[in-house]
Amino acid sequence: MRKTHFSIVLFLLLFSFSQAQNNNTKGIPPAIAEKDLTAYLFVYFTGNSVEEEAVRYAISADGYHYYHLNNNKPVIDSKVISSTGGVRDPHILRGDDGKTFYMVLTDMTSSKGWDSNRAMVLLKSTDLVNWKSSIVNIQTAFPGNENLKRVWAPQTIYDAKAGKYLIYFSLQYAGGPDKIYYAYANKDFTGLESAPKLLFVPKSERACIDGDIIEKDGIYHLFYKTETENPGIKVATTTDLTSGKWTENDNYLQQTKDGVEGSSVFKLNNSDDYILMYDVYTKGRYQFTKSKDLENFTVIDNDISMDFNPRHGTILPITRSELKKLITKWGMPDKFPKINNNPVLEGYYADPEILYSNKTKKYYIYPTSDGFDGWSGNYFKTFSSDNLTDWKDEGIIVDLRKDVTWANRNAWAPCIVEKKIKGKYNYFYYFTAAQKIGVASSDNPNGPFTDSGKALVSTRPEGVKGGQEIDPDVFTDPKTGKSYLYWGNGYMAVAELNANMISIKEGSTKIIKVDDTFREGTYVIYRKGTYYFLWSEDDTRSPNYKVRYGTSKSPLGPIEIPKDNIVIQGIPDQGIYATGHNSVLQIPNKDEWYITYHRFSYPTGIKMGDAGGFHREVCMDKLEFNPDGSIKQVIPTHSGIDAIK
């Protein structure tokens, strides 16, 4: 993965010291990386008839152009989840764990009157498709609410200080104005922990409804609708949600003279811009405005399009995998843009090894778990796919802290080989830990793997004075059946593996000479009588990190290096940088090849400085050869490859 130049050694030493001085959770991968939020889900209802008072979905690729799902029909049956037969004002939230979703709804049919409801609906999901629901009737659940007239527009926010989900909503009691109250949800999100408490009432003490809270830079912004002689949308701020200490902004935020309600704010993906949208209910349309500071808003209606007419709803940024689940369930809108397949894995991962398993007939990627400060990850995962574009997280297969006795840090750059021994498939997984190389074995490509109990490579080869013992690659020669282990940063070493695959044949270690472009990440393939040696040039923190190659007539070298030998490099104009540390997949029984590699996370990595070198993502593109056997330079893409059958 990296070289042992003084700067790297110093970096790791300083990082280890700072970690010891500052033992906290900073510098670990987030539950959802911002760079993986690439689409949007709009949750809304459509009108005042019972048929229209139901949850509907629409999706967008850019936050500006929205397309309905399910033919603009409900995606949840209101009669099943509500006490009144209708629901309104859907609000959706991604949970603090990144993978659980919470939706709250007004339990109401307007045909029964605007003061007819006393309840809300709470829903919980892990896939945005299947929801578990509960009805919370404020009047019957908590004493002292005999004079309660209505419960409107609930929303949810995670209160980090309390470690709970805070549900807030407007209540009106007989003879009084609507005010915004709150209560914490119980652990299962099926009810409220206690009776509602007052969250906010404007200093005018007039009615306020349709609260919507978003946090920015440690400040909570509560957008709400006033019900004064001049109703409209205002905002109040606080640093403590339940303190009762709000600073009100007297300015109206809507950019229209028409009646509005149901404001909602969301942040555009990978941007500093926020969108404030609201329901211009008197005109049957929405208005969208944009802001960077949540104080000054500019109308962007001319940039917005929808093929439906929503009422009070909310928009949630979603990932590609979440988008695909929605499309799988309710179909792809005709005009929705093509979905990119790079990166192939969501999250921060690097140094990908790819394998086709003859046992399971599936493909597997074995990456470095990235996103840890200073490459300080300590576990390995694997992902499986049957089409190379949709990948399932199979979980942790080796945890250095639990499964390995000889090292517990710097889990880097694994590789794997499938071997059929005595008629049975076996899998040997080689990995870097604490700048040493180990091996674990399993009967299955997704584990569980058992470590051999000691490092396979722990010292530099004889005569090598610098570098690191990292970046293993295993290659089985189709001509002889022998398996070889390659490794090294700053040098390329090779040794023959014994038949047990967990030890090195004595006296077989040698150094293969490469030119000055060699840094690390050796990978060997065989095609039509030629052995191809691929390696990475430059530092993984460098935007110029790239892959080069040479050829040989033997898996032990010598290597001949073509004049034009770049396999893949970045395209700055497209925001693609640091395309390196690859592996290669051959589709079984075909001359069809794919290169799997990592790059700086897009679009965020290039802005991170050195940290871009440990916030990487795994991509895949097609690898092709010229008629003379030379490798065509790969053009890295955002679109990636199409699914294979």
DSSP conformation letters of 257-296: SS--EEEEEEEPTTSS-EEEEEEETTTTEEEEEEESSSS-
Residues 6+ apart with CB under 8 A from 345: 352, 365, 367, 383, 391, 617, 618
pTM equals: 0.94
Closest to 544 (Cα-Cα) out of 514, 579, 516: 579
Question: pLDDT, tens digit, for every residue of 423-444?
Answer: 999 999 999 999 999 999 999 9
Q: Report whether 233 contacts 225 (CB < 8 A).
A: yes
Predicted pLDDT of residue 351: 98
Q: Whole-angstrom Cα distance, residue 380 to residue 375?
A: 13
Tokens of 592: 């069809």
Question: pLDDT, tens digit, for every residue of 464-478?
Answer: 999 999 999 999 999
Predicted pLDDT of residue 79: 98
Per-residue pLDDT, averaged over 374-387, amounts to 97
Q: Would you place residue 375 in the very low, low, confident or very high pLDDT band (cuts 50, 70, 90)?
A: very high
**For residue 155, pLDDT beyond 50:** yes
Report DSSP state, residue 497: B
Per-residue pLDDT, averaged over 72-90, amounts to 98
Question: pLDDT, tens digit, for every residue of 555-587?
Answer: 999 999 999 999 999 999 999 999 999 999 999
Question: pLDDT, tens digit, for every residue of 253-298?
Answer: 999 999 999 999 999 999 999 999 999 998 999 999 999 999 999 9
**For residue 588, pLDDT beyond 80:** yes
**For residue 385, pLDDT beyond 60:** yes
Per-residue pLDDT, averaged over 600-615, amounts to 97
**For residue 135, pLDDT beyond 90:** yes
Q: Whole-angstrom Cα distance, residue 494 to residue 505?
A: 11
Predicted pLDDT of residue 645: 85
Q: Report whether 399 contacts 408 (CB < 8 A).
A: no
Tokens of 259: 């009646």
Per-residue pLDDT, averaged over 133-144, amounts to 97
Predicted pLDDT of residue 340: 98
Predicted pLDDT of residue 192: 98
At 303, phi and psi to the nearest 5? -95, -5
Q: Would you place residue 230 in the very low, low, confident or very high pLDDT band (cuts 50, 70, 90)?
A: confident
Q: Whole-angstrom Cα distance, residue 352 to residue 364?
A: 10
**For residue 17, pLDDT beyond 80:** no
Question: pLDDT, tens digit, for every residue of 493-533?
Answer: 999 999 999 999 999 999 999 999 999 999 999 999 999 99
Centre a 10 Å sphere on the Cβ of residue 478 and count the other Cβ atoms it contains.
9
Predicted pLDDT of residue 14: 43
* Percent of the chain at pLDDT exceeding 70: 96
Q: Report whether 86 contacts 119 (CB < 8 A).
A: no
Predicted pLDDT of residue 21: 33
**For residue 6, pLDDT beyond 80:** no
**For residue 25, pLDDT beyond 80:** no
Question: pLDDT, tens digit, for every residue of 529-548?
Answer: 999 999 999 999 999 999 99
Predicted pLDDT of residue 567: 98
**For residue 204, pLDDT beyond 70:** yes
User: What domains sit in the chain, N to C, each tagged with a CATH number?
Assistant: 34-330 (2.115.10.20), 347-623 (2.115.10.20)
Question: pLDDT, tens digit, for every residue of 182-195?
Answer: 999 999 999 999 99
- Run of H or E residues at 141: helix 138-141
Predicted pLDDT of residue 26: 58
- Alpha carbon separation from 437 to 28, 224, 584 (Å, rounded): 24, 58, 21
Strands ordered across the beta sheet of 424-433: 412-421, 424-433, 436-442, 450-451
Predicted pLDDT of residue 11: 47
